Amino acid sequence: MIPTPTPASRPPGLRTLSIATVVAFCVAYGLVFFYAPIEAEEGFLQKIFYLHVPLAIVTLCGFVLGGLMAIMHLRTRDRNWDLRSYVTIHMSLIFGVGTLITGSIWARGSWGHWWVWSEPTLVSFLIIMLLYATYQPLRFAIEDPERQARYASVFAITAGAFVPLNYAAVNLSTAYLHPRVLGSSSNLPPSMALTLLVALVAIALLFATLCSYELTAKRTRMLLRSRSRILGFQGSGTTERRPDAARETPVPTSAPARAGVHAR
Amino acid sequence: MKPAGTPAVLGALLRKELLVELRTLQSVPGMSLFAVSTFVVFHFALNRTSVSGDPAAGVLWVTLLFAAMLGVNRLFVADAEQGGFDGFLLAPVSRTALLVAKALTLLAYLLVLELIAVPAFGLLLLGSPLGQALPDLLGVLVLADIGIAVIGTFVAALAVQTRARDLLGPLLALPLLVPIVIGAARATEPLLYASHPGHPAGRWLLLLGLYDLVFGLIAYAVFDFLLED
């Protein structure tokens, strides 16, 4: 007998999360363009600050969060934690590319160069991105799914711990050479700080929504694949059309599906 | 039968590693030759007959790092291909012993490599005599080598079970080694000035020592999970 789709395939929070993200974005960028004052020295260009800084914060938090989820995976051996860790790191990588691009644009506008080595935050961010860029090649070069999850978790934990270490080392190497051009948010005027905070919330919500979508899509695809295996649709379904199907992390979704997988 | 204590296990593993290397000579001679060739390449690439200060420290550390990568790539290959892991896992001993033994092996490789590469560097590229800076340089080399050995062993264990192991090893290792390079190159730089060689600043030695310690703890914490099957 084929079980009806479980509610797990359609999480109830997804719609709420999406709407909240859209609302937060409207509010945040309304504040950016109509409320926050034009900065005296950099002018309109400084508005990219409200995109760049939240992206960077969310990316780094995502990397550390991915490491914490990997710890949970190794502790509980629940494959769902590995899937969450994978999705978080994947999304952080995408947000990280956005951070580097917006950072470059900002650097070009205010300092005249696309890249500056004197800014330790930017440099350490690049190193961290280079490290995390090997996460997917490492993961998908391991065929055994159980070992893939385990090794990816070990990588995620190490890299997550490397994030603050690397920042400290790079900061030490440049801090005494150049004073910071734009300091921390503590010396921002209140209207700018408020706008930054709302923008941060919006970007964090976007991150959560996209992660949630990717997670749902992956779970649905696995459910579909195991169902089509139960039904014996060898020639149709997603398995045949996707050459990279083996690269997906299989996660046991529901009891009948799991029984079907093991029966084969 | 009483299970063997950790020092005995460590000694046995280390003896096996060094014996294998002595009989096959597949890592250290290659690493040393690579280092010397790289100095020649640097001579032509930089178009200089001698270097000092900043660029000298850079040339030395880039060369040592890339030579170390050759050793890292080969570190676990024999164990993965010829059943060394299986044999080790069947033995009732602590798995951390393998991490420590491999790291000590890599450390020994690096020290032998530097025994050849550093005099070669002094002879071929360095503008000033090396003698005066040698005691300070030795300290920097040992501190950096410990870090390279720990990170190299961890990365080698992570990459050896993958399809693209030769590619992934250096890709994983280089970002993780950036703090080591920062510390080592900045500490070496004052030693290599032609006119008035100085001493390494304490902060770089501290950075190297702390990074070695923290990364050693991380590797110790996660290494067991790499050896489960």
**Cβ contact (<8 Å) for A142 and B174?**
no
Is B122 domain-assigned?
A: yes
Is B214 domain-assigned?
A: yes
Q: Record the tokens describing residue A241, joined without a space.
A: 């059309």
Q: Which of B126, B134, B220, B211 is nearest to B176 (CA)?
A: B211
DSSP A178: S
**Distance in angstroms (rounded) separating the CA atoms of residues B59 and A100:** 29
Q: What residues are paired with A39 via a beta bridge?
A: A43
Is B1 domain-assigned?
A: no
Q: Which of A21, A73, A67, A70 is nearest to A213 (CA)?
A: A21
**pLDDT (tens place) for every residue of chain A, 264 residues total:** 444 445 444 556 888 999 999 999 999 989 988 888 887 777 788 888 899 999 999 999 999 999 999 999 999 999 899 999 999 999 999 999 999 999 999 888 888 888 888 778 888 899 999 999 999 999 999 988 899 999 999 999 999 999 988 888 888 877 554 444 454 445 678 888 888 999 999 999 999 999 999 999 999 998 999 899 888 876 544 444 444 444 444 444 444 443 333 333
| CB interface of B with A, residues 142-161, below 8 Å | 154, 158-159, 161
Q: Which residues of chain B have pLDDT under 70?
A: 1-4, 196-197
Residue B72's domain comprises 6-226
Task: Identify the residue among B158, B178, B204 best suited for mutation to test binding to A, counting A beta carbons within 10 A and taking the highest.
Answer: B178
**Distance in angstroms (rounded) separating the CA atoms of residues A21 and A200:** 11
For the stretch B25-58, pLDDT in tens is 989 999 999 999 999 999 999 998 888 888 899 9
Q: Record the tokens describing residue B72, joined without a space.
A: 């890292």
**Cβ contact (<8 Å) for B218 and A137?**
no
Q: Record the tokens describing residue B69, joined without a space.
A: 């990568």
**Cβ contact (<8 Å) for A131 and B218?**
no
Partner residue facing A151 (CB), from B207, B221, B226: B226
**Distance in angstroms (rounded) separating the CA atoms of residues A227 and A233:** 9
**Cβ contact (<8 Å) for B172 and A138?**
yes
Widest Cα–Cα separation across chain B: 65
| A161 interaction partners in chain B (CB closer than 8 Å) | 214, 218
Q: What residues are paired with B126 via a beta bridge?
A: B51
Is B67 domain-assigned?
A: yes
CB–CB of A184/A61 below 8 Å? no
Per the structure, the count of domains in chain B is: 1
